[in-house]
Structure 1
Amino acid sequence: MTTNTNADTAQDPGRERLLYGCMGLGGGWDTTPYGAADIAEAEAAVEAALDSGITAFDHADIYRHGKSEAVFGEVLARANGLRERIVLQTKCGIRQADGDLPGMYDLRGAAIRRRVEESLERLRTDTVDVLLLHRPDPLADLQDVADALTSLHRQRLVRRFGVSNMSAAQVSLLQAHLEFPLVANQLEMSLHRRDWLETGVLVNTPESASVGFPSGTVEHCRTNGISLQAWGSLARGRFTGLQETPAEAATARYVASLAEAKATTPETILLWWLQRHPAHIAPVVGSSRPERVRACADAVRREPDLTHEEWYGLWVTARGAALP
């Protein structure tokens, strides 16, 4: 396997331009053990990411019931020196339904520590570069959370911490209990999922009530140096595959025309649209298909090549209506 990497990026977790999302690795969403074919698929996907200049890999303990982390651990074990050249990120805090127990969120300190130890074992590594708390737990004792994170940090089991799917108020409340800064907030953000953007321009309009995204979250992250990571960044192929609405079809045509004019791929245009925002959003690309991953390479190798007018053109076309 090739291991072309950016050493500077690998040394600065939480500040990546693009991340590879490993949710698709490890076989099915069941408890069937992974096999040789799943390891080979993971190796091909990781190699495609590295060839594209991606050095950050995003996991969660629940992905494929832990099999995503486990097959990635197999890849690390087979690729000498790879671990030292990448940023390894995982998440914890979601418990899937089990028998009579419902799915729930669990940020109790002991649960966080147990989940991290299990992830480290599956990933075959001594340290996670970034740990994200996957979802907010309404029952969390934040001092208990902070004590667990501090212990993991002091033991060098985790280098840095962040959150996922949290509002500005939730981030601020957690940060008040921590002695080190949170470095990332991972949210669903794309040209299709635009509520994070719409909330900032629909202020003082009748439409504002229809946007559920917590106002001020993007601004809070920018103010406090918290990296915004965008999951679902390619909109699940909505603008590069099957379109369901006239606005999506029009957007797909516009994306394709921009890609042709700029000698790149439609996937890159979608990622550039996020990266062009002054918050320096870091998209997470989650496909397990190597060709799809390689189609994103220009989002690492080139600066976002979208004019002010083109960026707004994509936004307005995707929303299917003029801005207020």
Structure 2
Amino acid sequence: MKLPINESGLAASQLIYGCMGLGGGWNRDPIQSEHITQAHEVVELALENGINMFDHADIYAFGKAETVFGQVLKEKPTLRENMILQSKLGIRFPDEEKGLPARYDFSKSYILDSVDGILSRLNIDYLDVLLLHRPDVLMDSREVAEAFHQLKSSGKVRYFGVSNMSAGQIRLLQNNCNEKLIVNQLEMSLDKIGWLETGVHVNQVAARDNVLPEGTLEYCQLENIQLQAWGSLAKGIYTGRDLENAGENVKNTALLVQRFAEEKQVSQEAIVLAWLMKHPAAIQPVIGTTNLARIQGCVEALKVTLSRDEWYTLYVSSRGVSLP
């Protein structure tokens, strides 16, 4: 089943394959042949299972994730026509020689240069979707709009979006940007539930502990901005990770996930992802595992429908306390 992303017409899969784990890790070591082999295996398995959208960022594995993916496309160029490729930019690593810290950069020149780097590493002529990775507090929305217009006009980028942004930040950017923002990628999972708690805790003291500004989820739905969920598998805490030092709510929720998986004869990953996709915002989970069996387990989520009672049982268990 394909999920049209808003007015773009992009027929995207309900699951997105996140490429952060490709390239051999977050180090400066050279790319090895086994890293390219691994990329071939996960890309082809994803496509065989109907996953046609792939999520990158220029910083993943210090650029090596995009590079090995580009090698896959170089060796099998026909794969490109079956893919929707998305990448992110705006995070800059520390520069010890200049004494600069890690920082964000949405300046026009940096955006344009970063896209050229992304296209070169991926070995492609254009990017389907470009996201701004994390909010730059010095963002000049007019400057970003100029960069987006230039990228669109040159044919280097088809569509644009953001990641980790609130409704207010998106609204400001869209106000000066002629290009429709079609995506907002947020951390959302059965463990990271601030996107739900914001609504539940309206007018309550507990709201001060939430990190997602009120109205972000609703704004994206109203403006037809596709919500994507990074960290959707919650780092495996409900699907087999050692929970010796975990809280009781995590342990109890893991048992529930296991129970539902056994009852429905699917993987535990399928339950965790189905829980996200039950929400009416039509969330697209991004899965980042390089384990082939786990990828196939994730795909099983597409045939799972949780009942309202099952969904709330998991939600309240994850909270660790009753709803107000």
What range is the shorter-chain TM-score in? over 0.9
Q: Is structure 2 residue 257 aligned with structure 1 residue 255?
A: yes
TM-score (norm 1): 0.94
Distance 1:141 1:204, change over 3 A: closer
Letter in structure 2 aligned against 1:118: G
**What is the alpha-carbon distance in structure 2 between the residues aligned to residue 52 and residue 267 of structure 1?**
15
Q: Is structure 2 residue 242 aligned with structure 1 residue 242?
A: yes
- Of the structure 1 ranges 236-245 and 45-54, higher mean CA displacement relative to structure 2 is found in 45-54
- Of the structure 1 ranges 79-88 and 225-234, higher mean CA displacement relative to structure 2 is found in 79-88
Runs of at least 4 residues off by over 2 Å: 5-9, 11-16
TM-score (norm 2): 0.94
Residue 299 of structure 2 is matched in structure 1 by: 297
Distance 1:97 1:190, change over 3 A: same
Deviation of 1:318 (Å): 1.0
Distance 1:39 1:68, change over 3 A: same
Letter in structure 1 aligned against 2:58: D
Q: Is structure 2 residue 63 aligned with structure 1 residue 66?
A: yes
Distance 1:317 1:139, change over 3 A: same
Residue 322 of structure 1 is matched in structure 2 by: 322
Q: Is the 8 A contact 1:48 1:291 kept in 2?
A: no
**What is the alpha-carbon distance in structure 1 between the residues aligned to residue 146 and residue 232 of structure 2?**
33
Task: Please give the per-residue CA displacement for 1:31-67, whole angstroms capped at 9, x wherever unaligned.
Answer: 2121101101111111221222111000000001100
- How do 1:16-95 residues align onto structure 2 when only pairs under 5 Å count? 16-95=13-92
Q: Is structure 2 residue 276 aligned with structure 1 residue 279?
A: no
Deviation of 1:286 (Å): 0.3
For these two proteins, the number of residue pairs brought into alignment is 317
Task: Please give the per-residue CA displacement for 1:233-266, whole angstroms capped at 9, x wherever unaligned.
Answer: 0000011122212111111111111111112111
Residue 189 of structure 1 is matched in structure 2 by: 188
**What is the alpha-carbon distance in structure 1 between the residues aligned to residue 207 and residue 4 of structure 2?**
41
Secondary structure (helix, strand or coil) at the match of 1:31 reads coil
Report 1 or 2 for greater relative contact order, CA contacts < 8 Å, sequence distance ≥ 6.
1
Deviation of 1:14 (Å): 8.1
- How do 1:146-295 residues align onto structure 2 when only pairs under 5 Å count? 146-240=145-239, 241-243=241-243, 244-295=246-297
- Of the structure 1 ranges 200-209 and 54-63, higher mean CA displacement relative to structure 2 is found in 200-209
**What is the alpha-carbon distance in structure 1 between the residues aligned to residue 195 and residue 63 of structure 2?**
30
**What is the alpha-carbon distance in structure 1 between the residues aligned to residue 12 and residue 192 of structure 2?**
22
Q: Is the 8 A contact 2:2 2:13 kept in 1?
A: no
Q: Is the 8 A contact 1:187 1:230 kept in 2?
A: yes
Secondary structure (helix, strand or coil) at the match of 2:293 reads helix
Unaligned runs of 5+ in 1: none
Deviation of 1:29 (Å): 1.1
Letter in structure 2 aligned against 1:49: A
